[in-house]
Amino acid sequence: MEPKRNVIVQVSDARISQNQETRLVTYSLGSCIAVCLYDPTCRLGGMIHYQLPSSQMDPERARRDPFMFADTGLGLLIGKMLELGAVKKCLEVKAAGGAAMSTGPKGFDIGKRNFLSLRKVLWQHGIMMNAHDVGGNNPRTLYLDIETGTVLVKCNGSEKQL
């Protein structure tokens, strides 16, 4: 069995794939959150790596970089996946990140705000989250295998399936 080809999802970006030989991967999830969407019936998967909870923080930037924000980016990703044949009620949603990194102003806790925004956007779209690994103080790496829908999180040398 040949190893999967990694398709990297950069910060403030998203990717969709139906290629069974690939897995989507994003690295260095601190306060950012990565969300995996997967429809097992058509084996279509998508991943977003967003930095901030709300496009209202910087509407001009949101127009240029919609995947930087949970509300604009996740909405676009969901819409595109539905266009490509995913069925909303079949979507499996798994997320990781949202760590409390000591990089912003005290009390700002962007990781927690990012997670709350994710839950709000999913609720607005009538989609439930299946699993998540958020919070803490350590960065994570997230993988989505397009063939199987398996989502793996790596953190501090350990690995777990969501």
Q: What is the CATH number of the domain that holds 125?
A: 3.30.1330.200
* Whether the Cβ atoms of residue 146 and residue 42 lie closer than 8 Å to each other: no
Read off the pTM: 0.94
Give the domain range for residue 113: 5-161
pLDDT-based confidence at 102, cuts 50/70/90? low
State pLDDT tens for residues 24-74.
999 999 999 999 999 999 999 999 999 999 999 899 999 999 999 999 999
State pLDDT tens for residues 103-139.
555 556 899 999 999 999 999 999 999 999 999 999 9
CA distance 126 to 156: 34
CA distance 19 to 23: 8
As for how many domains the chain has, the answer is: 1
* Whether the Cβ atoms of residue 154 and residue 125 lie closer than 8 Å to each other: no
Which residues carry out catalysis? Answer: 32
The pLDDT score that the predictor gives to residue 10 is: 98
* Whether the Cβ atoms of residue 68 and residue 48 lie closer than 8 Å to each other: no
Going by their DSSP bridges, the two strands 44-50 and 13-17 should be labelled as antiparallel
